[in-house]
Structures are given as structure tokens and as C-alpha cells.
Amino acid sequence: MATAERDYYEILGVDREAPDADIKRAFRKLARELHPDVSEAPDAEERFREAAEAYEVLSDPERRATYNRYGREGLRGGGFAPADFDLGNLSDIFGAFFGESLFGQAAHPGGPSRGGDVTASAEITLTEAFTGVTENVSTRVASTCETCDGNGAAPGTSPRICDVCGGAGRVQQVSQSVFGQFVRTGACPSCEGIGSVVETPCETCDGVGRTLHDREIDIDVPAGIEDGQRIRVRNEGHAGALGGPNGDLFLQVRVTPLPGLERDGADLHTAVELTMTEAALGTALMVPGPVGEIEVEVPAGTQPGHVIVLRGQGMPSLEGRRRGAFHAHVRVHIPRRLDDEQRTLVDQLGEALGEEAYQDDGDNGEDGGFFGRIKNAFR
């Protein structure tokens, strides 16, 4: 974040002694200004994330006290990590935080509405992607207020039906023009589209019907997941308004590679380093795999660039039907420095081997491979 060290109070433009209502109002004002439908500033998304982080801290009494005393380092020491908000989903965020949209209309016009989705991220290793793993994910979500059961009214009271719209949440306005009569329908200005009015708001949720809190959830990450894929966990997002269904939780998974291994879908690739004599005589060696070492049998006469394929030794597929292959790419090292005695030995070996030692056995004893087939075609 470009302005990561700015003071949270400075970001929201409030005093250090500002009450919660002023902090909420300041964040609401900033987010409206930074909405993509309003602002064309190139740094609008970055500034919104900065403002959201400031609001996350200052709207929570415990975090605010820690920040006032120890600053950002104190928050980091306590394990605080800012939530990952999507600027394109601001309306859902506002509905979860305040029970209204960015521009003042009710977030749930006319009755129950679905809660907003929540995003989180997790980083796992390639080994964990190979075997599958359970990740503990921390999120901050809006839940139905336990004090008022989500209706926003103080205990012992109930919301009353709006007198203006009769509980419909919408009203019609009829106007005349030279072209005739026009009928416009919009949210009721009295109840803001909810259909009911809370005369005595619940003190716990301030009449919104939902409260924000931190929550941890265990999510099973399946074997075979790839870097950048998302896992959808239904009904683990923000609580719906007025009894509506919860939103979903989306977990973005990052898979960190292992040294010496490259992944291509379900296939794995590694390099096998051989000496000239090992390639000529053949050998067996251990190479790093996703969960320990894998034995690779190198046949005698293996050529530089040859790929040894081990079927079923790659990554599992998400469907669980098959595993990919493990590809060992052969690199042959030729001696660079020979003394006189060694040079003589290599020269004697070359004379002893003759041309036949370098032929690839194919049908009828002819050279195999692409060039061998070309040569045979002209015979």
C-alpha cells in the first residue's frame, strides 16, 4: 500500500477522540467519493482499501485501543491482517456494514435480501496442493444481531409497518407532461425501502440488525488445486437482511512452487543431471518430488534432452479420476577439462566404440528416430 504508514485518523479525516458515529460517517463519505461510478482517479481502489483498513481498526473498540497505544506495530503483533475488499462490490460491503447502499437507499428494499459475499486468501505449498490440506481462515463478517434477532428493534419493541408505503417499501409518483402521464416507482422515502420503521433502535446493532465480528473457519482445500483457483463455501458470507440468506465465502488459493519442480496442470517437470558415463551406461537416481524423492531409472544410452515420463506420478486431478505424469528432462554434462592421460583414454574409447555404438536400434537394425526414418525413406 503506497500510503501504508499514514495515520488512520488522518486517512478518515477525524480527530483521535472522534465518536463511533463520526468514524462511520467519515468512512461512508470517503467510500462514496471513491466509488468507480463516481471517481475516475487512478488510485481510487488503493485509497478505498486504505480507508477500509482504517475503518476496520477504528470501528473496533479493542483494535482502536491497541492502535492508540502501540500504533500499527501493536496491531501486527496481535495478528491483525486487513480484510481483502473488492472495490467493485462496494454495495454489498455497505449493506453488511450499515444496512444501506452507498448512496443512501436501503440495502434490502421491500423485505429480506441476500447477504454480501466475503473474500479471503490462503497460501499453501505444492506439497499441500498434492495431498490436500485444511486451512484455518480468518474473516470479518456481519452476523444477525443476537439481541434483536435481526429486526433492528430494541428488546420488547417491534418495527411498525410504514404508514407511507403500507409495508411495500416502494411508492409511486404520478406526474403530467405534454406527452401524457408518467408513473415513477421508487424506494419509500419514509422507510428507505424496508417497509417498516424502527422507532426504538437496538443498542447492540444501532438498528441495523447485524453486527460485525471476527470469525475463524476451517476450509478443506482439495488435492490437485492450482494456483489462483477459488473455493466457494456457501452460506459463510455476510448474514442476509431481514432474514434473507447468507452470502458465500470465496477463498483465493495461492500455491507456492517447490525448488526444482515446475507444474503444468497435472504434470510435473524436473531436470535430471547426468555425467557422460552415467548417460552411456545407465543409472538409477533419486530426484525431488512433491512429497519426497522419486526414483528415476535412466536406461543406458540416454541422449541429452531425452524426457523420461513416469505415468501417474504427477499431481492429482480435482475430479480424482487420474494423476498427471512426472517428466524428468535429461541434461548430460560433457567433461570440459581433461589432462593428457584422460584425453588419451577418451580417444581410445572413441576408436574402440566405432560408429555402430551411436546408432539407435530400430526396425531391421536401421537407425531409429526422425532422422533415421528420413534416411530409410531414401534407401
Segment 275-307, tens digit of pLDDT: 999 999 999 999 999 999 999 999 999 999 999
Lowest mean pLDDT among 11-15, 32-36, 87-91, 306-310: 87-91
Task: Report whether pLDDT(80) > 90.
Answer: no
Q: Mean pLDDT score of the chain, rounded to an integer?
A: 81
37 vs 302, higher pLDDT: 302
As a whole number of angstroms, the distance between CA 289 and CA 370 comes to 32
Any bridge partners for residue 295, and if so which?
A: 286
In degrees, rounded to 5, the angle at the alpha carbon of residue 361 between the alpha carbons of residues 359 and 362 is 125
> Helix crossing, 20-34 with 90-98: angle to 10°?
170
In the chain, what percentage of residues exceed pLDDT 70? Answer: 80
Task: Report whether pLDDT(102) > 60.
Answer: no
Compute how many other C-beta atoms are within 10 angstroms of the C-beta atom of residue 367. Answer: 16
Distances in Å between the Cα of 33 and the Cα atoms of 20, 27, 40, 192 are: 20, 10, 10, 21
Question: What is the set of domains in the chain, with CATH numbers?
Answer: 1-82 (1.10.287.110), 262-368 (2.60.260.20)
Segment 113-135, tens digit of pLDDT: 788 888 899 999 999 999 999 99
40 vs 47, higher pLDDT: 47
Contact status, residue 75 vs residue 68, Cβ threshold 8 Å: no
Sorting pLDDT into bands at 50, 70 and 90, what band is 88? very low
Report DSSP state, residue 243.
T
Contact status, residue 162 vs residue 194, Cβ threshold 8 Å: yes
Task: Report whether pLDDT(55) > 70.
Answer: yes
As a whole number of angstroms, the distance between CA 96 and CA 211 comes to 8
Give which of 280, 274, 263, 319 is closest to 296, Cα–Cα: 274
Segment 327-357, tens digit of pLDDT: 999 999 999 899 999 999 988 888 888 778 8
Q: Averaged over 171-191, what is the pLDDT? A: 71
Provide the pLDDT for residue 369. 47
Which set of grid coordinates corresponds to residue 93?
A: 460491503
As a whole number of angstroms, the distance between CA 365 and CA 358 comes to 12
Tell me the three state secondary structure of residue 345: helix
Contact status, residue 165 vs residue 184, Cβ threshold 8 Å: no
Cell 503506497 sits on residue: 2
Segment 249-276, tens digit of pLDDT: 999 999 999 999 999 999 999 999 999 9
Provide the pLDDT for residue 307. 95
Contact status, residue 152 vs residue 285, Cβ threshold 8 Å: no
Helices (H) and strands (E) in the chain, counts: 9, 15
Contact status, residue 249 vs residue 118, Cβ threshold 8 Å: yes
Segment 150-162, tens digit of pLDDT: 888 999 998 888 8
Which contacts of 370-379 are long-range, i.e. CB under 8 A and separated by 24 or more positions? Answer: none
Q: How far apart are the first and last CA of the chain?
A: 70
Distances in Å between the Cα of 313 and the Cα atoms of 110, 255, 290, 328, 345 are: 56, 19, 9, 11, 40
Task: Report whether pLDDT(72) > 50.
Answer: yes
DSSP string, 213-240: EEEEEEEEE-TT--TT-EEEETT-SSPP
Task: Report whether pLDDT(248) > 80.
Answer: yes
Q: Averaged over 66-90, what is the pLDDT? A: 69
Provide the pLDDT for residue 256. 93
Residues 6+ apart with CB under 8 A from 305: 329, 330
**For the CA atoms of 251, 255, 256, 257, what is the dihedral angle to 10 degrees?**
180
As a whole number of angstroms, the distance between CA 199 and CA 359 comes to 94
